[in-house]
Amino acid sequence: MININDYEKIVGKNTLIELYTLAEKLKGKTIQNINSTSVGGGVAEILSKMVPFLKQLGLNADWNVIKGDGKFFEITKKIHNALHGRKENITKEDLEYFVEINRNNISNLDLSSDIMFIHDPQPIGLIEKRKDYNNNWIWRCHIDITSAQEDIYNFFKTYILQYDSCVFSAPSFSRKDLNLPQILISPSIDPLSDKNKELTEQEITKIFEKYGLDLSRPIVTQISRFDYLKDPIGVIKAYKMARKYNDCQLILAGGGATDDPEGIKVYEEVLKEANDDSDIHILLLPQDDLTINALVRGSTIILQKSIKEGFGLTVSEALWKEKPVIASAVGGIPLQITHKYSGILTYSIEGTAYYLKQLLNDPEYAKQLAKNGKEHVKNNFLITRHLREYLLLFLSMYY
Ligand code: UDP
């Protein structure tokens, strides 16, 4: 178990003192986080680190996951896509089922904590229970809802407005029509976790050997759930264009999330597009942070060619490992990458291919981008900054 005090060597003593001082002011308060999956995706990644650290700081923090069946998660996946702006056919019955499952969860969860921190759309309906307790409710929205499908957004808006405040990951995600405090807090990575800690050459080699991957030739990698919005087919197309000029291999690696039933379908389409090409490695992974860590560290260039994105934690994870990153200019990615300074931002398959070719041809330039990227993540996207902002948010409920 990582101890919060171990971060002193990365962020300095004063940061730790500040965290303890803020936490002290919240002593005795209970904080309950609720989301819809315990593994897979950025939200579970952050909560699995954040909640133990809040506890170590002396707070009474907890994390629960709502329960739903396959039908519920198919509906919430469509809702997720629609809120991201993709056209989806969501029926009145779908929304009624969504409400029903939320109500079932109300009966099974303790929602009486002083601060209820509800993550993303899936459990948003728990707010109905608020009337029974005089507690504070915050909705933490991890996705970009600024171009949401209107009817679905309006359905959710009636819930959002019942919260005391909502938190978005980037300034560009705030919405003028929401008449409640909108707080902007970007996510973070945990530099000492298995996902991000330093690894030895032997540890990296072992993982590459396990998957039959060749470390002696350049490797381009995207780590993502198999999701249309991560554009894995676009990644393969860009790779195929770039490799006409530079020898390189492609790894597309990812697992599933229990609240994402679309994964297998996307995975099968990706396999079809890869067409048994021996240089394209499609890895359907179990949840294993050390494997992800090693795959990124052994790669030459990291891609994140998303069509829509919440924050895009994978970008900071790669930059922290001092890897050059080429990523789409969507969601929170431009917060993490300044074009041609701390990475490359692209807008198309052709653009991605163009910069792949450029970085593969110019390793010194790629190295400089990666170096700047790591510095930027160190200054802005480590978990200690995130903890500080959450503590200040919780405190703002009382002062
Ligand atoms: N991730 C993982 N295993 C996988 C695919 C992704 O652990 O097979 C992690 C990834 O390292 C990152 C998170 O899941 O920590 C994905 O977060 P991001 O914000 O990039 O995207 P999301 O999946 O939340 O849309």
Give the span between the Cα atoms of 22 and 358, in whole angstroms: 46
The confidence score (pLDDT) of residue 287 equals 85
Query: What spacing in Å lies between the alpha carbon of 315 and ligand 1's midpoint?
Result: 10
Q: Are 126 and 106 in contact (CB under 8 A)?
A: yes
Q: Is the CB of 311 under 6 A from ligand 1?
A: yes
- For a mutational test of ligand 1's pocket, the pick from 225, 260, 267, 382, i.e. the residue with the most ligand atoms closer than 8 A to its C-beta, is 225
Residue 207: count other Cβ atoms within 10 Å of its Cβ. Answer: 20
Query: What spacing in Å lies between the alpha carbon of 317 and ligand 1's midpoint?
Result: 10
Percent helix, strand, coil in the chain (nearest 5)? Answer: 50, 15, 35
Q: Is the CB of 292 under 6 A from ligand 1?
A: yes
Q: Is the CB of 263 under 6 A from ligand 1?
A: no
Q: Where are the beta strands (DSSP E) in the chain?
A: 30-35, 60-65, 115-119, 136-140, 165-168, 182-184, 219-223, 249-254, 280-284, 301-304, 325-328, 344-346
Token pair of 61 as six digits: 């923090």
**pLDDT of the chain, 399 residues: tens digit per residue:** 789 999 999 999 999 999 999 999 999 999 999 999 998 888 998 999 999 999 999 999 999 999 999 999 999 999 999 999 999 999 999 999 999 999 999 999 999 999 999 999 999 999 999 999 989 999 999 999 999 999 999 999 999 999 999 999 999 999 999 999 999 999 999 999 999 999 999 999 999 999 999 999 999 999 999 999 999 999 999 999 999 999 999 999 998 777 888 899 999 999 999 999 999 999 999 889 999 999 999 999 999 999 999 999 999 999 999 999 999 999 999 999 999 999 999 999 999 999 999 999 999 999 999 999 999 999 999 999 999 999 999 999 998
Sign of the torsion angle spanned by Cα atoms 213, 216, 218, 224: positive
Q: Is the CB of 285 under 6 A from ligand 1?
A: yes
The confidence score (pLDDT) of residue 255 equals 84
Longest dimension (CA), the chain: 64
| Residue 26 phi, psi dihedral angles, 5° rounding | -105, 5
HSE at residue 309, side-chain half, CA atoms within 13 A, is 27
Q: Is the CB of 225 under 6 A from ligand 1?
A: yes
Q: Is the CB of 254 under 6 A from ligand 1?
A: yes
Give the span between the Cα atoms of 51 and 31, in whole angstroms: 9
Query: What spacing in Å lies between the alpha carbon of 316 and ligand 1's midpoint?
Result: 11
Q: Are 110 and 30 in contact (CB under 8 A)?
A: no
pTM attached to this predicted model: 0.93
| Residue 64 phi, psi dihedral angles, 5° rounding | -125, 155
Nearest atom within ligand 1 for CA of residue 256: 8
Sign of the torsion angle spanned by Cα atoms 216, 366, 285, 1: positive
Give, to the nearest 10 degrees, the angle between helix 289-297 and helix 201-210: 100
Token pair of 105 as six digits: 């969860």
- For a mutational test of ligand 1's pocket, the pick from 194, 284, 313, i.e. the residue with the most ligand atoms closer than 8 A to its C-beta, is 313
Q: Are 266 and 381 in contact (CB under 8 A)?
A: no
Q: Is the CB of 252 under 6 A from ligand 1?
A: no
Nearest atom within ligand 1 for CA of residue 224: 5
The confidence score (pLDDT) of residue 309 equals 93
Look at residue 232 and give its three-state secondary structure. helix
The confidence score (pLDDT) of residue 52 equals 96
Q: Is the CB of 332 under 6 A from ligand 1?
A: no
Query: What spacing in Å lies between the alpha carbon of 32 and ligand 1's midpoint?
Result: 23
Smallest CA separation from ligand 1 atom 4, residue:
254
Q: Is the CB of 312 under 6 A from ligand 1?
A: yes
